[in-house]
A and B are shown apart, each in its own frame.
Chain A
Amino acid sequence: MIRAVFFALLILSPVTAEAHKPSDSTLSLSIENGAIQGRWDIALRDLDYAIGLDGDGDGAITWGELRARHDVVAAYALARLVLRADERACPAKATNHLVEERSDGTYSVMQFTADCMGAFEDLELRYSLFFDLDAQHRGLLQVDWNGATSASILSPSRPSWSTQDGDDSAWRQAAVYAQEGVWHIWIGFDHVLFLISLLLPAVLRRADGGGWQPQKPRGALSEVVKVVTAFTVAHSITLGLASAGWLDLPARLIEPAIAASIVLAALNNIFPLVTRGIWLVAFGFGLVHGVGFAGALSDLGLPAKGLLLSLFSFNAGVELGQLAIVAVFLPLALWAARTPFYLPVALRFGSFAIAAVASVWFVERAFSLSWPVS
């Protein structure tokens, strides 16, 4: 009974916050061009429990004692980390041993490299350090791959990680690309101006006598939807083709072409050539703009993993940014179209101003000039 009493007491004693956190190690991999550089931080206490570091048994671990066991540490730890690239084993080798002091004690820092014999698409990792000794041990994994970072907590019930895991980091990455898409359309004045040039006449319609008169909201909306959809579909096609590498047009052609498309679209509002089927114009020029988006996206750097998702998110971001512009533009334009100023000020003068700005861009881009002012 006495034993039971003792033990019952322990259990019943209120939980206090712990001196140390439970055991965990930090494993960071950075992968570039098929080469894996690793850093593994493991608490000295844990290593001592597993393989014994305190050589003289005085309750203190010295650098000398640790240094003498570095080979054992490396062999023990690396045997509990399996890396496979495209089904090929990647044997790891320790390259350097350091130590680091942390809030809960000193950690051994082991740097290592893993050789996967060549480039690879997928990486799979299996972690089993200390799981047999301490069921609460966790491996805090961080993988940097071509600029994208993925983090994961490895435990006895989830000891593996793989690039195919589709963990939430992919979604975080998607969010980043969507944001970039929105950002690109907002700061990319050329796309905004092109869209506005096409939308300016959408709230008007040709009167029978040849002049303009305000369009009804429903008619305007359907016109806007047609234009925006055509533009979207077109630039999605070329953005996809260019990002996949099937379409490769040099920026020095595309950038002036985008500027030219704005000039033409704006001038068309003043000297109408195309009056029906503006959406066809939107589609044609949208193809050109799409290649421009692809340029911006490649500047961001597309990850090898989740390329499709990133591409899709970037495009979705562009659409969202576009919709936001339309949502502001359309009510304003509908209201303004009823005033006598719309035709001369917004449509004629506005388009003229857009055409002027875009002409400057065209000259700049076509002849690689730069105006001292801009």
Chain B
Amino acid sequence: MQRQVRRPSTTRTLCVAFVFCAGFVGGKVGAEPYIPFHDDVVLEKLPTPGKEALRTLQKLRAQLNKDRENLRLALSLARRYMDLGRAEADPRYYGYAEAALRPWWDLDEPPVEVLVLRAGLHQSRHDFDTALEDLARVLKAQPDHAQALLTRAFVLQVKGRNGEALQSCRRLPKNLHPLITATCVGRVMSLTGQAAQGQDRLKQSIAAEANDDRLRLWALTNLGEIAARIGDNEEAERRFRAALDLGRRDVYLLGAYADLLLEQDRVEEARALLDGETRIDALLLRLAIAEDRLGRDTANEYRAMLEARFDASNRRGSTLHQREEARFHLEVLRQPESALRLAEANWAVQKEPQDTALVLQAALAAGAPERAGPVLKWVTETGLEDVSIRALIRQLDKG
């Protein structure tokens, strides 16, 4: 009789001990260096940009190594690396691109094409002002350089200088694909109180032009975002779905669609959309928000992963992730004070609608509506149309 009473207690003790040990070992693996127990243990999966692309890259790299001063080769390799950096959302490739351009990088008068790429690389590191300087030099030499004009429009738009961005879009040469110009113009117009016109222009253009998938994806994503901003969630979803149906993986599209779902409290769908997307910080963040709202245990794991990544980034002295970090503090850690600090610092650099909304949300959550002041003034001046920002302003007015 006595033994029967004791037995479950022994089992429980063993279970507890096991969990403790497992936790200890599991925790240790991440934090301490170790020697793997077997030669077949896989330590790292390398990114595979596709066999064909990889072979081309290796060939170009080998050629360039033999001929470091070959500008044509260097430009071609750098473009491919930047292409990969964007597709894989992996900044290492931007570093490789910069290294390929090294012989021209610090010249007083680099070739125009180097300047264009250099501007793109500065932009990728959020060094927007230096990017604009490089672009100004390009456009002085070649006033209708399409890529320089587009990059300039984009950088200005991120910085919230939408009037100048629109000018840049309108200066795009006529022989450029009309959908590019329409997307550029439409996107920027939608941020300056002319959402309807911007949307119309883009809709007409996308109906007429249908050839290139990459271009369509970009235009559809923009149409989705514009619709979401003016509160037409059905139209937004239709466009995002059409973009997804093109079958090209696109990190930005996934993030934008996930945000639309989260905004409508369709948390389960957002989670399903981003299932397994833990490699990319921006998507992991949205996944963590969804899991957190669903009250799942995985939320803790994702929170720890994100904290480790922001830590690693901050140790390097990088502020590239401030937008995500602010949102992480606000929605996952629920620390509105630090979220507001980060959101303000981010807003000093980037002024896209989500950056603007973040400051307002954090100011509300932190009970510091007065700190939303500069942002509110800016919103009024630019005439930004965005239903979620409008709702936040109403809340701020009430408080």
Contact = CB atoms under 8 A, between A and B. Distances in A.
Given A8-B147, A99-B34, A19 B89 contact: yes
A101 B323 contact: no
A101 B27 CA distance: 11
A17 B36 contact: no
Q: Is the interface of B mostly helix, strand, loop or mixed?
A: helix
Contacts of A136: 91-92, 94-95, 98, 125
B29 A101 contact: yes
Interface in B139-153: 146-147, 150-151, 153
Contacts of B212: 5
B282 A17 contact: yes
Interface stretch (B43-51, B236-244, B365-373, B380-388): B43-51
Interface string A127-138: 000011111111
Contacts of B82: 7, 10-11
B34 A100 contact: yes
Contact of A135 (B98, B308, B320, B352): B98
Given A19-B281, A24-B316, A5 B89 contact: no
Nearest to B277: A19
A317 B89 CA distance: 50
Interface string A30-65: 000000000001001110110000100001111110
A244 interface: no
A340 interface: no
A171 to B, nearest CB: 18
Given A1-B175, A10-B83, A59-B48, A21 B313 contact: yes
A108 to B, nearest CB: 9
Contacts of B151: 8, 11-12
A105 B47 CA distance: 11
Contact of B90 (A9, A15, A19): A19
A8 B173 CA distance: 13
B44 A60 contact: yes
B79 interface: yes
A99 B369 CA distance: 48
A127 to B, nearest CB: 15
A21 B176 contact: no
A132 B99 contact: yes
A125 interface: no
B7 interface: no
A45 B309 contact: no
A106 interface: yes
Contacts of B124: 15
Given A9-B180, A11-B123, A136-B95, A21 B318 contact: yes
A16 B92 contact: no
Nearest to B309: A103
Interface in B32-83: 32-36, 38-48, 79, 82-83
B391 interface: no
Contact of A99 (B43, B46, B125, B176): B43
A13 B177 contact: no
A221 B285 CA distance: 62
A23 interface: yes
A4 B125 CA distance: 22
A153 interface: yes
Interface residues of A, number: 57
Interface residues of B, number: 78
A102 interface: yes
Given A1-B176, A5-B180, A54-B46, A22 B92 contact: yes
A9 B215 contact: yes
Interface in A116-167: 131-138, 140, 153
A18 B305 contact: no
A159 B147 CA distance: 34
A140 B316 contact: yes
A100 B282 contact: no
A20 B316 contact: no
Contacts of B90: 18-20
A11 B155 CA distance: 10
B318 A135 contact: no
A23 B308 CA distance: 15
A313 B292 CA distance: 49
Interface of A: 1, 4-24, 41, 44-46, 48-49, 54, 59-64, 66-67, 98-106, 109, 131-138, 140, 153
Interface of B: 29-30, 32-36, 38-48, 79, 82-83, 86, 88-92, 94-96, 98-99, 102, 105, 120, 123-126, 146-147, 150-151, 153-154, 158, 175-177, 180, 184, 212, 214-215, 218, 251-252, 255, 279-282, 285, 305, 308-309, 311-313, 315-318, 320-321, 323-324, 352
16 contacts: A5-B212, A9-B218, A11-B82, A11-B123, A12-B150, A12-B218, A14-B352, A17-B285, A17-B321, A21-B309, A62-B43, A63-B38, A103-B308, A106-B44, A109-B33, A140-B316
By Cβ-Cβ distance, the 10 closest A-B pairs, closest first, are A64-B39, A136-B95, A134-B95, A135-B98, A103-B308, A17-B282, A98-B33, A63-B36, A109-B33, A17-B281
